[in-house]
Amino acid sequence: MKRAILFLALIASVGMYAQDTTPTYEVEGEMVKVTYYHENGKISQTGFFVNEQLQGEWRMYNEEGKKIAMGQYTNGVKMGKWFFWEGKKLKEVDFTDNKIANITQWNNAEAVVLNK
């Protein structure tokens, strides 16, 4: 009997700490904002869909919640400047029609200011 109670207590405690990782969807005008989650419950990525295609700004985060990438989609295609953070380095990648056109890498010694 004690083992059964201990087993049920263990199962209940594990269930209490399980994170809901189900994506969330919010309608904003013609767009649908979607948020995906890591298994630990932190946001993995967030962005928009229009007509089932990626559209507008998308942001990606690591499991600790730090931003690791940010950029724009136009009709499901990566366009313009994307930013990728890797430790103390920042890569600025220019995309044209989903293809890399240019890469600039910044290090911690050079100041880079981004609003958002």
Confidence of residue 88 (pLDDT cuts 50, 70, 90): confident
pLDDT digits (tens, 9 = 90+) for 35-75: 999 999 999 999 999 999 999 999 999 999 999 999 999 99
* Tally of domains in the chain: 1
Residue 9 lies in a domain: no
The mean pLDDT of the chain is 83
Structure tokens at 36: 């995906």
Tell me how far CA of residue 10 lies from CA of 13, 15, 18, 20, in angstroms: 5, 9, 13, 19
Closest by CA position to 59, among listed 43, 45, 75: 45
| β-strand partners of 86 | 89
Residue 8 lies in a domain: no
Look at the block and give the residue holding tokens 């229009």: 50
Residue 2 lies in a domain: no
pTM: 0.73
Q: Give exposure, 59-78, as e/b (b: 16+ Cβ within 10 Å).
A: bbbeeeeeebbbbbbbeeeb
Residue 5 lies in a domain: no
